[in-house]
Chain A
Amino acid sequence: MATVTVHSLTFTYPKRSRPVLDDLNVTFPSGKFSLLTGVSGGGKSTLLKLIAGLTPLPTAGSITFNDQPLAEIAPTKRAATVAMLFQEPSTQFTMDTVKNELRFALENQCVDPADIPAKITAALDFIGITDLQDRLLMQLSGGEQQKVALAIIVAMDSDVILLDEPFASIDPPTRLALLEKLVALCTKRGKTIILADHDLSNYDRWVDHLAVLDMGKLTLLSPADTQARFAAFTPDKLQLTHVVLPSDQPVSLQGTQLRLGHGERELLAPQDLALFAHQATLITGPNGSGKSTLFRALVRLGKYQGRLTYDGTDIQKLPRKQYARSVGLMFQAASSQFLNVTVAEELALSRKFGNRDYFTAERVQDLLAQLNLAEHTEQIIYSLSSGQQKKLQLLCMLIMAPTVLLLDEPLKGLDFASIQVVMHILTTVQRDLHLTLIMISHQLSGLDDLITLHLALADHHLTYKGAPA
């Protein structure tokens, strides 16, 4: 049991004038589930990292656990005091396999070697992932990795559990399952949980006070206001009113007996697959089912069996350079896309080789303003928040205007307002330039205007959904 108290905390990143957190005072009560929300770039991640002790505090003692600063807690007890689940699932492990990572964490806590196997089994059982114990961490899907990370926190028996948008790349059923485990940790084991999320669905039963972080200030809403916020937040539903089954549209990419898999593990059983030109296709499916793997295969970054053709020619026979200009991928991790240092340089590169007739300097400026990026043009890309990076990434790839643009979770980590803006821009550009868009998204709201075809991946098979045309 631990109460987390933040005493007048002000935090400014080096070389920035405006503080991210401005004289923040808040108490997260022991054994309660606290939910933190706010716009992207509002300082949620910063606050959680400061609490977790991952970012050094500007003044020691401004965050305490039961009135004790983290630095004063014995090193081997720190992980038992506070632990954090990261936004990016794959970046939180040191070792190769699930079991080894659990061993590593328990060794750090000086757990008697004789007790380690039992603790590992108990933690894996609690989360329900005993079958994953000998798997390689890097081969797990994002959802599975988050489950493993949570199992490690369970094994370490941390009093305070911090979660930074842990469900950003996770499908709704997995999200609900993880949420139930978290609530069980809270109610049955008295853990203090602080979770940052944009998506407010399914929290109404468990959260009394919603904490809103905006402009460096934190407001704790009353129970009535909190419930009103939750009620106003309609859970994401996949509403696709324009979707019909494909008829005789022209085909852009065609797979013949296409099979995808990691080694022995089959993701997509051999099937024929047509992707249609000038349409906006949405691909949905559970985590780790192979959606991103399909995209990597389509841009020749991943292995596949069978044949893939673009406009009738085998993609392996097309010159790499030419093909890369025709079929582009917006990576799930924004940082993979960037090649330069500042926002302005990145945009200049896109305009140099992209569609300059459509994306005139004025239009780009206008889009930057719409995306709230206009004031950040001289900023170093890697110092932008994850939401800002995502928006810049999308703009860069839109300016390139490849004939086929694959979008892997383009709305990941964006707040509601940003999603509306991004979807509006995407829809306009797609209509104006007749682009072929193929999108993977777990974020389901706001897609209706754009999407014309829907591919569902289930049981190793991709099938088109919708009413007959």
Chain B
Amino acid sequence: MNPSLKLALVILIALEVSFTQVWTVNVALIIISLILMFVGHVKWKRLLWLTVVPLFFASALVWSLALQGTTTHHFLIVIFTRMFVYVYMGGLFTQTTDPLTLTRSLEQNAKLPSKFAYGFLAAFNLMPKIQAEVATIKAAALMRGQVLHVWSPQLYFKVILAAMNWSDQLAAAMTSHGFVEGAPRTHAITVALRARDWWVFGIGLILVQVGLFIGLP
């Protein structure tokens, strides 16, 4: 499916689910997301993480609400399943979408200014670099007799400094390879926006509306 349309669909459904209380639709969305993730060959370990983390938070939330005693069982189930809908749909999107294709699609199909599209891509590409940088900073500090913990402000100072440095470097790199803000560009690879994508988008949205309509008390 076209990445921009997929993103729009996921965001729209998430918004709707936030303002309605139909747990059957939530469960249906969870099952569909799970099936699609299986089809998309998402790794087992990833799936496990996507399950364990929200399970912890959802349980904690439901438990504290139940202790309060003012909420109905129906609402507790809705809250519990809603958490999973968010995480699974987010997981489905991130695990089955290539960031570069998304960038190209946002630029070409969603007409997002290329500055934002490539800014997003650069931020994404920065993630592994940040992890490596944190390890390097910690090691550099140890060699100088200083222990930096997760909560040490110095660690963040250095990471922010490094990130600022990267952003300058990235801006220079983009400029030197001909990128000019607001200037026209061509596209070596076009991301198609097919009729099929619109059909999936439309039918998906309609199904959720129908489900919500039937399920509403």
A249 at the B interface (CB under 8 A): no
Q: Which of B139, B146, B183 contacts A108 (CB 8 A)?
A: B183
- Measured between alpha carbons, how far is A353 from B177 in the docked complex, in Å? 44
Let me know if B39 is at the binding interface, CB within 8 A. no
Residues of B within 8 A of A88 (CB): 169
Q: Is the CB of A324 within 8 A of B143?
A: yes
Q: B186, A112: Cβ atoms under 8 Å?
A: yes
In the complex, what's the smallest C-beta–C-beta distance from A164 to chain B, in angstroms? 11
With a cutoff of 8 Å between Cβ atoms, the chain A residues found around residue B69 in the complex are none
Q: Is the CB of A116 within 8 A of B169?
A: no
Residue of A whose beta carbon sits closest to that of B125: A96
Q: Does B158 contact A (CB under 8 A)?
A: yes
Q: Are A116 and B188 in contact (CB under 8 A)?
A: yes
Q: Is the CB of A108 within 8 A of B100?
A: no
Q: Chain B 158-181 against A: per-residue CB contact (8 Å), 1 yes, 0 no?
A: 100110011001101111111110
Establish whether residues A78 and B180, one from each chain, have CB atoms under 8 Å apart when the complex forms.
yes
Q: Please tell me which one of the listed residues A101, A108, A331, A400 contacts residue B145 in the complex, with CB atoms under 8 A apart.
A: A400
Q: CB distance B175 to A94 under 8 Å?
A: no
Knowing A94-B170, A109-B178, A300-B139, the reply to whether A352 touches B145 (Cβ < 8 A) is yes
Is A106 on the interface with B (CB-CB < 8 A)? yes
Size category, A interface: 35 or more
Distance of B199 from chain A, by nearest CB (Å): 27
Query: A92 with B178: in contact, given A112-B186, A113-B190, A336-B136 (CB under 8 Å)?
Result: no
Complex Cα distance, B143 from A328, in Å, reads: 6
Is A299's beta carbon under 8 Å from chain B? Answer: yes
Q: Nearest B residue to A402 by beta-carbon distance?
A: B143
In this complex, the member of B143, B162, B170, B190 whose beta carbon has the largest number of chain A beta carbons within 10 angstroms is B143
B118: interface (CB < 8 Å): yes
Query: Quick one: given A107-B187, A113-B186, A113-B188, are A339 and B146 in contact (CB under 8 Å)?
Result: yes
The answer to whether A110 touches B186, judged by C-beta atoms less than 8 angstroms apart, is yes
Q: How far is it, in angstroms, between the C-alpha of A100 and the C-alpha of B137 when the chains are bound?
A: 30
Contact of A84 among B121, B139, B145, B176 (CB under 8 A): B176
The verdict on A95 contacting chain B, using a C-beta distance below 8 Å, is yes
Residues of A within 8 A of B122 (CB): 94
Q: Is A211 an interface residue (CB 8 A)?
A: no
> CA–CA, A324 to B138, complex, Å?
10
CA distance A350 to B145 in the complex (A): 8
CB contact list, A274-325 vs B, under 8 A: 299-301, 320-321, 324-325
- The reply to whether the CB of B111 lies closer than 8 angstroms to some CB of chain A is no
B184 in the interface (beta carbon within 8 A):
yes
Chain B positions within 8 Å of A300 at CB level: 139
Closest chain-A Cβ to B174's Cβ sits at a distance in Å of: 5
Contact of A325 among B100, B143, B175, B185 (CB under 8 A): B143
Q: Does A75 sit within 8 A of B, measured CB to CB?
A: yes
Q: CB within 8 Å of A: which of B125-148?
A: 125, 135-137, 139-147
Report which residue of B147, B158, B165, B175 has the largest number of chain A beta carbons within 10 angstroms of its beta carbon: B175
Q: Please, how many angstroms separate the alpha-carbon atoms of A116 and B141 in the complex?
A: 46
For B177, the chain A residues whose CB sits under 8 A away are 79, 83, 92, 94, 101, 104-105, 108, 152, 156
Which residues on the A side are within 8 Å of B182 (C-beta)? 75
Residues of B within 8 A of A113 (CB): 186-190
A226 to B170 alpha-carbon distance, docked (Å): 36
CB contact between B146 and one of A52, A92, A349 (< 8 Å): that residue: A349
In-complex Cβ contact of B176 among A52, A80, A336, A339 (8 A): A52
A52 vs B174: C-alpha distance when bound (angstroms): 12
Tell me the interface secondary structure of chain B in the complex: helix
Q: Judging by beta carbons under 8 Å apart, are B145 and A325 in contact?
A: yes
Q: Tell me if B209 is interfacial: C-beta within 8 Å of chain A.
A: no
Residues B142 and A320 in contact, CB atoms below 8 Å apart: yes
- B59 interface contact, C-beta 8 A: no
Residue B94 is within 8 A (CB to CB) of chain A in the complex: no
When C-beta atoms are compared, the residue in chain B nearest to A116 turns out to be B188
Is A238 part of the binding interface, using a Cβ–Cβ cutoff of 8 Å? no
Partner of A107, one of B158, B175, B185: B185
| In the complex, A382 has a CB within 8 A of chain B | yes
Residue of B140, B180, B187 ringed by the most chain A CB atoms within 10 A: B140
Nearest chain A residue, comparing its CB with the CB of B162: A335
Q: Give B186 Cβ to nearest chain A Cβ, in Å.
A: 5
Does residue A337 face the partner (Cβ distance < 8 Å to B)? Answer: yes
* B18 part of interface (Cβ distance < 8 Å): no
Is B154 on the interface with A (CB-CB < 8 A)? yes
- B176–A301 CB distance below 8 A: no
Smallest CB–CB gap between A122 and chain B, Å?
A: 15
Tell me the chain A residues, 37-55 only, with Cβ under 8 Å from chain B: 49, 52-54
Neighbouring A residues of B154 by C-beta, 8 Å:
339
Nearest B residue to A399, CB-CB: B144
Kindly state the separation between the CA atoms of A111 and B177 in the bound complex, as whole angstroms. Answer: 13
Tell me if A21 counts as interface (CB < 8 A to partner B): no
Which A residues from 349 to 380 make CB contacts under 8 A with B? 349-350, 352-354
Residues of A within 8 A of B158 (CB): 339
Min CB distance, B44 to chain A, in Å? Answer: 21
Determine whether A451 belongs to the interface, using a CB cutoff of 8 Å to chain B. no
Check A108–B140 contact: CB distance below 8 A. Answer: no
Q: Sort A-B residue pairs by CB-CB distance and give the 3 closest, nearest first.
A: A353-B145, A79-B178, A324-B142
- Contacts A113-B189, A113-B190 known; 8 new A-B pairs at CB < 8 A: A92-B177, A103-B188, A111-B186, A300-B139, A325-B142, A325-B145, A339-B137, A352-B145
Chain A interfacial positions (CB closer than 8 Å to B): 49, 52-54, 75-76, 78-80, 83-84, 86, 88, 91-96, 100-101, 103-113, 116, 152, 156, 299-301, 320-321, 324-325, 328-329, 331, 335-339, 349-350, 352-354, 382, 396-397, 400, 402
Q: Can you name 12 A-B residue pairings with CB atoms under 8 Å?
A: A91-B173, A94-B121, A94-B173, A94-B174, A96-B125, A104-B179, A108-B178, A113-B186, A320-B142, A335-B162, A339-B144, A339-B146
